[in-house]
Structure 1
Amino acid sequence: MAVSVRTIVGMSGGVDSSVAALRLRDAGESIAGLFMQNWADDGSGDCRAEDDRRDAVAVSGRLGLPIHFRDFSGEYWAGVFEHFLAEYAAGRTPNPDVLCNREIKFKHFLDAARELGAEFIATGHYARVDKAGAEFRLLRALDRSKDQSYFLHQLGQAQLSATRFPLGDLLKRDVREMARAAQLPTAAKKDSTGICFIGERDFREFLARYLPAREGEIRTPAGQVVGRHPGVFYFTLGQREGLNIGGVRGFEPAPWYVVGKDVASNVLYVDQGSDSPWLHSQTLWSEAAHWIAGQPPAARFVCSAQTRYRQPDQDCEVSVREDGSVEVRFAQSQRAVTPGQSLVLYDGEVCLGGAVIAATDAPDCAAPLPPKEPTT
């Protein structure tokens, strides 16, 4: 039976969604909550789904709100997790939070809210929506340290026109204080981390359940073997942890970093120094880009970009290619730009859209750099 509410709040069982519901209720909005079950627990870690469900129910009770439940675990597997595994198997590093937002929170959740008779959905994301003329825009949150527009860049006009972000103008510390003042049971609850909806667990052990490990060599770009790895897809560019490379004769006792992966030959490439030249690029190419306005601002334009979450703005020039992908040339060299991750473009506070990174002009570890000229 449809409910006579205007907005359905995605209740995750965390403090952010709790305060989002609180703010809407206190503003006189007609609301109800909805808890999404998006992962069928496989026993491989701390999934916390039942704890989160109980907290969502407790908060809804405290606020006097009806709450609904939907199981999207099948949709999550088909729309997010299978892609996640395929990307890792190909040696890339995907960003499941971006796909989860597009496929689950702002697709299946939105559909469920409309089936319940609601006009809008609301979430605890730190972002803002406004309207300029006929166009809905996605804006950064006031609290830049918590801004989540990076993960929301795949949304479009249809989603933004039906979405509210009640926390977009708040600082995180104020959200906690509002929860305490309202005596919400999630006021002191730790923020969730880990893979979207899957939770905190040993990532390597978790991934091995779906992608069987295959050991191989760890080499320098010059081809010298310096260790063994448990599987190239467990590592990402710029990573230092987990390499387990001890002292290597002929090399300084300095940290090693992942600088390349060859999935076909099962070789992991490493180099010493966090600022290794093998990690640097100035140009990237993407897959087909998504534009929040429905189209790019121009065929060529300057803006700022992020190639990872919470990265400071990077000035760049964007060229839109005929196939819908983009070529981005940065004003400054970039470290560890990683295929599979998201490029997100901004014009000041406005998120323009973004794309999955396909390739960069970083040196190829299979084609070593030319030797340095001897000093005189």
Structure 2
Amino acid sequence: MALSRQRVVVGLSGGVDSAVSAWLLKAQGHEVVGIFMKNWEDDDDSEYCSSNADFVDAASVADVIGIEIEHVNFAADYKDRVFAEFLREYQAGRTPNPDVLCNAEIKFKAFLDHAMRLGAEKIATGHYARVRERGGAFELLKGLDPSKDQSYFLHRLNQAQLSRTLFPVGEMHKSEVRRLAAEIGLPNARKKDSTGICFIGERPFREFLGKYLSKAPGPIKDERGRTLGEHQGLSFYTLGQRQGLGIGGVKARGAARGGGEHAPWFVARKDVERNVLWVVQGHDHPWLLSQRLDAADASWVAGQPPAPGPYAAKTRYRQQDAPCRCVPRAEGGFALAFAEPQWAVTPGQSAVLYDGEVCLGGGVIAAPAQGETVPAGRDTSMRGISTAAPQG
């Protein structure tokens, strides 16, 4: 990282990735200041909310590295900008990704603004991603560790944000980060990676959501319209969900599409208007497969949509890049057509577009086209998707 000495404010989460990021920047000669962000405080004393323990870890890291650390409370911003939208999406029957919104609204907006007030020239986080400048423009690249790449969660960052951001561990593999943390004696070198939604943690999700959303029970039906049981409210289920349906003992007649009579059940559709949860039997049931999707609320790293053409996309974080064609829409969204059907494409989640290692941006999945397949040997279909150049 060929940079002159700068004042860099690092988001210290208490985890090993941000700790090593701070150490690397200090070793490179930068003036480093740590910030611990508190984004949730509704149940700060519960067994699932670890912010107090995380701050102790972050402070210990700052002490070892020899940098100052400030505790900043963004909980009000988080509740207004992220959690309120999170609840609205669930109430509408969709499954949002609050980590994407948290990055765009808190970690690279509220935190960035605070860092600039502290006189920072750059901010840094422990995300596994990279930034590359080309001809005065900034590109968001995948992290070099394919198993830890987090560009998916960062796809809504813009040019102004990327121009001020450093990702020191984006050039490293996780194993290297762990090894370096141990070598330099960081107290959290062996700390387990955090999992789950950023403010929920590893807690029973339905129980948590039930504190904020009312239950509206309704029927669970299969593809033939048989009522198999009762759901607790559509908000508490997501497409592709297998556990917690309460219908494990029900069998289909003969070999159901996509699975035999003992195949597990999966959530396939949610009819919000009729309050019906539709389930199917078998992982590869046609109702769980989508050839195309429409996305809304697009955000492009370059500030403008890419040209229509072949790319790759992810419709969920833990998946391989899927070859597709993209056509941006004049109204601010885009359409994707995939070479192979995608499994459990979920409204509310993010569809993120890539050109090789470059993350171009993405949008919120509005509607998948379910039940379509492409015969083997055929090219990606664009039926029903206009290939005219985007307007405006």
> What is the aligned-residue identity percentage?
56
The reply on whether 1:335 has 2:343 as its aligned counterpart is: yes
The reply on whether 1:221 has 2:223 as its aligned counterpart is: yes
Partner residue, 2:264 = 255
**What are the Cα deviations for residues 282-338 of structure 1, in whole angstroms up to 9, with x where unaligned?**
11111131110111222x121110000031111111111111210111111111111
**What are the Cα deviations for residues 167-202 of structure 1, in whole angstroms up to 9, with x where unaligned?**
011110110111111111110111111111332211
The reply on whether 1:318 has 2:320 as its aligned counterpart is: no
- Does the aligned pair in 1 maintain the 2:240–2:267 contact within 8 Å? yes
The 5 Å alignment of 1:108-127 reads 108-127=110-129
Matching residue's letter, 2:196: G
- Name the CA distance, whole Å, in 2 between partners of 1:246 and 1:323: 43
**What are the Cα deviations for residues 236-286 of structure 1, in whole angstroms up to 9, with x where unaligned?**
111101112132265422210111111222211101000011111111111
- Name the CA distance, whole Å, in 2 between partners of 1:293 and 1:264: 38
TM value normalised by structure 2:
0.89
The 5 Å alignment of 1:131-150 reads 131-150=133-152
- Does the aligned pair in 2 maintain the 1:5–1:32 contact within 8 Å? no
Partner residue, 2:21 = 20
Partner residue, 2:203 = 201
In angstroms, what is the RMSD of aligned CA positions? 1.5
- Does the aligned pair in 2 maintain the 1:238–1:336 contact within 8 Å? yes
- Does the aligned pair in 1 maintain the 2:296–2:363 contact within 8 Å? yes
Given candidates 289, 292, 310, the residue that maps to 2:298 is 289
The 5 Å alignment of 1:73-222 reads 73-222=75-224
- Mark the CA change 1:26 to 1:250 in structure 2 (over 3 Å): closer, same or farther: closer
Contiguous gaps of at least 5 residues in structure 2: 254-260, 373-392
- Name the CA distance, whole Å, in 2 between partners of 1:182 and 1:166: 16
- Mark the CA change 1:66 to 1:101 in structure 2 (over 3 Å): closer, same or farther: same
Shift of 1:5: 6.4
Partner residue, 1:68 = 70
Given candidates 311, 314, 320, the residue that maps to 1:306 is 314
- Does the aligned pair in 2 maintain the 1:44–1:201 contact within 8 Å? no
**What are the Cα deviations for residues 74-121 of structure 1, in whole angstroms up to 9, with x where unaligned?**
000000001001111111010000000000000000001011111100
Partner residue, 1:231 = 233
- Does the aligned pair in 2 maintain the 1:33–1:67 contact within 8 Å? yes
Matching residue's letter, 2:234: V
- Name the CA distance, whole Å, in 1 between partners of 2:47 and 2:83: 16
Q: Secondary structure at the match of 2:200?
A: coil
- Does the aligned pair in 2 maintain the 1:41–1:47 contact within 8 Å? no
- Does the aligned pair in 2 maintain the 1:45–1:200 contact within 8 Å? no
Partner residue, 1:265 = 274
- Mark the CA change 1:118 to 1:259 in structure 2 (over 3 Å): closer, same or farther: same
TM value normalised by structure 1:
0.93
Shift of 1:70: 0.9
Contiguous gaps of at least 5 residues in structure 1: 365-376
Given candidates 276, 280, 287, the residue that maps to 1:278 is 287
- Does the aligned pair in 2 maintain the 1:45–1:202 contact within 8 Å? no
The structure 1 segments of at least 4 consecutive aligned residues displaced by more than 4 Å after TM superposition are none
Partner residue, 1:367 = none
- Name the CA distance, whole Å, in 2 between partners of 1:357 and 1:44: 33
